Every structure is written in C-alpha cells, then in structure tokens.
Chain A
Amino acid sequence: MTKKIDDKTIAYVSTLASLELLPEEKESAKKDLSQMLDFVDCLSQLDTEGVSPMSNVFNEVNVFREDEVVNSDGSEATLHNAPEKKDRYFVVPKTIEP
C-alpha cells in the first residue's frame, strides 16, 4: 500500500482540503505526507479478515428526537461573529455572474 506522493497527488489533496500551498510548502507537504504514510503503512500487515469497522465505540444506532424549537432568535449575536455582514445577512463574494 506504500505510495509515493508526487506533485499531482499533493495538488489533488490540497484541492480536497481546500488549502493552498506555496511551492516550498508543497515540497515539505510531500515529505510530511510520505513520512506519515510510511508510518501508518504497517497497518496493512494487520489481519482484519472478517472484522467489521467501528466508527463509534458503543452501539451505532441513530438517535432521534422531535425537532422542536427551544431557543429564540439569536441572529443578531450570530451575525456579530461574521467577517462581513449587511443588514441581517452574511456577505460573501459574488457567486453567480449575471
């Protein structure tokens, strides 16, 4: 499963991660990621035939509750944290060209 991390992979992973890397950061990311993959690659030697994966340590059952409103309108306080806002809205760069 060992995999050499090339420029293409780094570019792909940074797109997935929505991160932009400078040329020198790309080099160290390549090294980092290869090193970390080498480190975790030993897992491939572990026999997991017939073992089911566990994403939660206790029973994995859905937890449902009624969707009832228990809080009041917190929009003003919420908007207070916005990097940019106008009236009662978050402001983002234009996403749809006219």
Chain B
Amino acid sequence: MDINELSALELGQQIQKKEISVKEAVEASFQKIEEKEPTLNCYVTTDYEGALLQAEAVQDRINRGERMGALAGVPIAVKDNICTKNLRTTCSSKMLYNFVPTYDSEAVTKLKNAGLIILGKTNMDEFGMGSTTETSYYGVTKNPWDITRVPGGSSGGSCAAVAAKETFLALGTDTGGSIRQPSAFCGVTGLKPTYGTVSRYGLIAYGSSLEQIGPIGKNVSDCAALLELIYGRDVKDSTSVVECDASPDGSFMGMLKEDVRGLRIGIPKEFLAEGLNEEVKASVLKAAHGFEENGAIVEEFSLANVSYAIPAYYIIASCEASSNLGRYDGVKYGYRSKEYQGLTDMYRKSRTEGFGTEVKRRIMLGSFALSSGYYEAYYLKALKARTLMKQEFEKAFAKYDLILGPTAPTTAMKLGENLQDPIQMYLGDMDTIFANMTGCPAISIPCGMDSKGLPIGLQLMANCFREDTLIQAAYAYERFSEA
C-alpha cells in the first residue's frame, strides 16, 4: 500500500488501528517531499527532525490509549504566514527571512493538541499579495499538473503540496480567494470559513477584515475534519465571533450526507458572463445540472453592482495592508538595512529593501487611498460599496441556500503570464472576493478537467455560519459526480 495515496481520514484511521505508525506516515510524506521539491518548490521551510520528534510524542499518546481525534498522527503543511513556535515563518518575504515566532498561532495550537504533525511551512505570494505564488521571495511554486504553469495563489504552496501528495492536509489563508483559487488550479478541495470563526491569533496580518485561515485537503471529508478542529471562538482574537460556539458541537463530520434534495441553488448570471473560459463554463454548468438531477432547485439570478466589487476589494485590501505592514521597521525583528543614516532612514531603507514589488505597490495604493483629501473618495467609498454588496448577498441568501459558480474564470495560467499585468491578475479574483467582502463561507471542489488536462474548480458559497450546508452539498457533489 502506498501511504501517500490515502486520504487524511483514512490515514488517521490506520494510525488509530496501529496498521501504520505515525513515523511511517511522516517518512512517507518526506519521501515525496524529497522527490518532488526540487521541481515544485511547495515549501519555504521543511522540518524533518521536528516532525519526527512530534511523531514520537503523538505515537506515545496513542500507545498510552489517550483518546485522540480522527486526524491524530496525520502530517500537515502550514502556510508560511501562520506563526509556528520555533519554526521560521517568513510570509515568503525577505522582510521576515530570519523570523522565528516565539508562540504558536491558535490554529496551530489546536493542530498540535489534536496530534497532527507539522511537516513545514508552505510557499505563498509575498504577504499573501498575489494570485500565482510568483511574488514569493523564495522562488515560484510550480503546478504539479503542469510545471510550466502557476499553482494559483496566494496559498499556492499549500495547494500544490496537497496535490503532489507532499502532505495529507494543509492550512491556507484566504483574503480574496487565496485558498479557493489555488485549490481550483491544483485540483484539490479548499474551504474559506465564515469570517470570525477561525481564530486569527498568530496569523500575520494583511487584510484583517477580509482574511480567514481554512483547510485544504484531498476531498471534502478531510476538509470537514480539519475545519472541525480549528473552528471556534478564541478570546485572543477580538474579531472572533460568539456565533461559532452556538452551532451544535461545531460538528461538520456529521454533515457528510449525500442529500441535496430541496436545496435552493442560485447561479449569478454575472459569474457566467464574458471573460469566463468556455471549458470552465461547461464544467460548472454540468455540475449545476448534477445538483438538479439529484433533487436541488437550480436557477440563474442577477447580482447587482458586481463590477464595483473588485475595485472596492482592492482599495480595502490595500488600505488594510498599508496599515498592517507599517509594523515592519527593522527594529524588533526581520530585515534591517545594512547602511543608513539615522532612525528614519533605517526604517525607510529596511522597508524598501525588505519588501517586493507587489507589496510596495499595494502599500503605496493603500497609503494614497487613506491620505487626507482622498480618504473619502476611495476608502470610505469602498466601505460603502461593501455595505451594498453585503445587502445584495443577504437578499440572495434569503432566496437561496447556496450560490454556485466557477472558482476562477480560467484554469492555471503559464508562469509569468500575469505577473507583468497586475490589473489582469486582479480581475481573476472576481468570483472569489464576494465571500471575503461579505464574510460568508465558500468552498472550491474539483469539477473536471479542461482539454489541456488542467483541473477546473467549482465554487459554492453559503450564508454566514452555514458551513454545514456548504459541506453537505460539496460532499454530495463529490459523491454523485463520481458515480
């Protein structure tokens, strides 16, 4: 049996039954890492020795008969913007080339308590700013399906690592589609939870009002199991919401039922409009038809003001970034310039040398949009547009349980294709940013291949706190599309 072919839950089961040891599972992942990394570059940092130590400790807990969850002993990769104690965390930036966190993020603490084994830190667009993983200071990650293409981003390393079986699971983060779009490009499953339901404590901030940590896995069940672990209120994160404590045990595993009868699904016409690749469109419509055949009610509808979504998103994300990234000054951690005259010059030179082009571009835009005289025309205007989007979605979710569409308008691009044209890159986020702007949960699941042999992603969105509906529908789709 090839261990790497197992799903995370299958592996967890074998570990519980002591058919496979935790060490064997870790060794299997590292064998794959050794084989694939020279080509793919999914990881910024791997931690073989640390993983073996964790494996030993977890195996001891299992052998002592400690009651552990379904994922105990399962290897996982963590995106490099999520703090891991004593394990370097760079955000794929030169700015944090030597940063070693002194504490674990809440999500990682939960993983460790549940006995998951952290293999290493995955590559990303610098500070999460990009949709291709090409803006990383540590080199591009390549798409495992075609190494001349991007894996998507910004969680490109996490998604490519799952696709290449260099890990069983991964944590990603999603500010404007950063879990879902690379999941689509790499043919894996990724879920962005409702805003405020997974603690951001220890997540290095980029767009604080937009971003969430979420699970990436080989299938819906694995993602549900991982989400169940990391979900829940945390007093250390002031944006963590009380609502997630109210859901019954936060049990998502119980939602793995093949039943979509009576489910009301809406497809925004605007998601199928020009710019959408024909093959992607055909696959998505086929998936919609599948839901219909299995008893769901599917119809098209119109979302108002769609064209304002991307501009509003980029203003808000850039403004929050310019503020959040103000902390990098070369004083307490991270990169400090070698030559400078005085304190202010040290700040400026450290930032200028430590940040890459796309990060500087967004800091500049954000600083401009927040500056006196422009604040109202740009930032405040974008926040008002956000209110309108939220209202539009509330209307839609009064009518529908789910909103269905493509995760991205195309399949994976060639390396370098979008890097020179930021606007083109931003337009690619059109299907995903709504979930971030309105806070609702969304999942990307594979829904076929294009004629080049590249995976296509189907996106489902549900109303806030309705991860249960989302998971059930995605799981059902996975089942009936296989049949």
A61 shortest CB reach to chain B, Å: 10
- Asked if A1 contacts B388 (CB within 8 A), the reply is no
Knowing A39-B426, A53-B384, say if A33 contacts B368 (CB, 8 Å): yes
Q: Is the interface of B mostly helix, strand, loop or mixed?
A: helix
B270 shortest CB reach to chain A, Å: 15
- Asked if A12 contacts B385 (CB within 8 A), the reply is no
- Asked if B333 contacts A82 (CB within 8 A), the reply is yes
- Asked if A54 contacts B355 (CB within 8 A), the reply is no
Across the two chains, which residue of chain A brings its CB closest to B85?
A77
Binds A, one of B53-61, B183-191, B357-365: B357-365
A94 to B384, CA, bound (A): 44
- Asked if B387 contacts A52 (CB within 8 A), the reply is yes
Q: In chain A, residues 31-60, which have Cβ atoms closer than 8 Å to a Cβ of chain B?
A: 32-33, 35-37, 39-44, 46, 48, 51-58
Most chain B CB within 10 A, of A16, A46, A57, A94, is at: A57
A95 to B99, CA, bound (A): 25
B205 shortest CB reach to chain A, Å: 14
- Asked if A90 contacts B332 (CB within 8 A), the reply is yes
A37 to B361, CA, bound (A): 12
**Total number of residue pairs linking A and B with CB closer than 8 Å:** 163
A93 to B329, CA, bound (A): 12
Contacts of A69 in B (CB 8 A): none
- Asked if B209 contacts A18 (CB within 8 A), the reply is no
- Asked if A78 contacts B332 (CB within 8 A), the reply is yes
A82 to B365, CA, bound (A): 29
- Asked if A57 contacts B100 (CB within 8 A), the reply is no
- Asked if A20 contacts B195 (CB within 8 A), the reply is no
- Asked if A43 contacts B308 (CB within 8 A), the reply is yes
A81's contact among B99, B352, B426, by CB below 8 Å, is which? B99
Q: Is the interface of A mostly helix, strand, loop or mixed?
A: loop
B370 shortest CB reach to chain A, Å: 8
- Asked if A83 contacts B340 (CB within 8 A), the reply is no
- Asked if A39 contacts B423 (CB within 8 A), the reply is yes
**A80 beta carbon closer than 8 Å to chain B:** yes
A81 to B117, CA, bound (A): 25
B235's contact among A13, A46, A65, by CB below 8 Å, is which? A65
- Asked if B422 contacts A19 (CB within 8 A), the reply is no
Across the two chains, which residue of chain A brings its CB closest to B355?
A19
Knowing A48-B381, A90-B332, say if A14 contacts B311 (CB, 8 Å): no
Contacts of B351 in A (CB 8 A): 17-19
**Number of interface residues, chain A, beta carbon within 8 A:** 50
Binds A, one of B121-129, B247-255, B288-296, B341-349: B341-349
- Asked if A57 contacts B371 (CB within 8 A), the reply is no
B423's contact among A36, A42, A65, A83, by CB below 8 Å, is which? A36
Across the two chains, which residue of chain B brings its CB closest to A79?
B332
Knowing A17-B363, A46-B308, A53-B387, say if A58 contacts B333 (CB, 8 Å): no
B381's contact among A36, A46, A71, A95, by CB below 8 Å, is which? A46
A71 to B364, CA, bound (A): 37
When each residue 322-351 of chain B gets 1 if its CB lies under 8 Å from chain A and 0 otherwise, what string results?
Answer: 100010011111111000111100111101
- Asked if A13 contacts B364 (CB within 8 A), the reply is yes
Contacts of A84 in B (CB 8 A): 336
A24 to B375, CA, bound (A): 28
**B48 beta carbon closer than 8 Å to chain A:** no
B249 shortest CB reach to chain A, Å: 22
B317 shortest CB reach to chain A, Å: 11
B332's contact among A58, A71, A82, by CB below 8 Å, is which? A82
Contacts of B415 in A (CB 8 A): none
Contacts of B308 in A (CB 8 A): 42-43, 46
A35 to B364, CA, bound (A): 13
Contacts of B426 in A (CB 8 A): 39
Contacts of A90 in B (CB 8 A): 331-332
Contacts of B390 in A (CB 8 A): 54, 57
- Asked if B368 contacts A93 (CB within 8 A), the reply is no
Contacts of A44 in B (CB 8 A): 377, 381
- Asked if B348 contacts A56 (CB within 8 A), the reply is no
A43 shortest CB reach to chain B, Å: 5
**B314 beta carbon closer than 8 Å to chain A:** yes
Knowing A19-B364, A20-B352, A83-B330, say if A93 contacts B342 (CB, 8 Å): yes
A51 to B464, CA, bound (A): 22
Most chain B CB within 10 A, of A12, A19, A54, A83, is at: A54
- Asked if A19 contacts B343 (CB within 8 A), the reply is no
Knowing A58-B439, A81-B98, say if A36 contacts B314 (CB, 8 Å): yes
Interface of B toward A, CB cutoff 8 Å: 98-100, 102-103, 195-196, 209, 235, 238-239, 241, 305, 307-308, 311-312, 314-315, 322, 326, 329-336, 340-343, 346-349, 351-352, 355, 360-361, 363-368, 371, 374, 377-378, 380-388, 390, 422-423, 426, 437-439, 464
10 residue pairs bridging A and B, Cβ less than 8 Å apart: A14-B364, A33-B364, A46-B385, A55-B383, A57-B195, A58-B195, A65-B235, A81-B332, A83-B336, A92-B343
Q: Beyond A14-B364, A17-B363, A80-B102, list 19 extra A-B contacts (CB 8 Å).
A: A19-B348, A19-B351, A20-B352, A33-B368, A39-B314, A39-B423, A39-B426, A43-B315, A44-B381, A46-B388, A48-B387, A51-B384, A52-B387, A53-B383, A54-B386, A57-B438, A82-B332, A83-B331, A84-B336
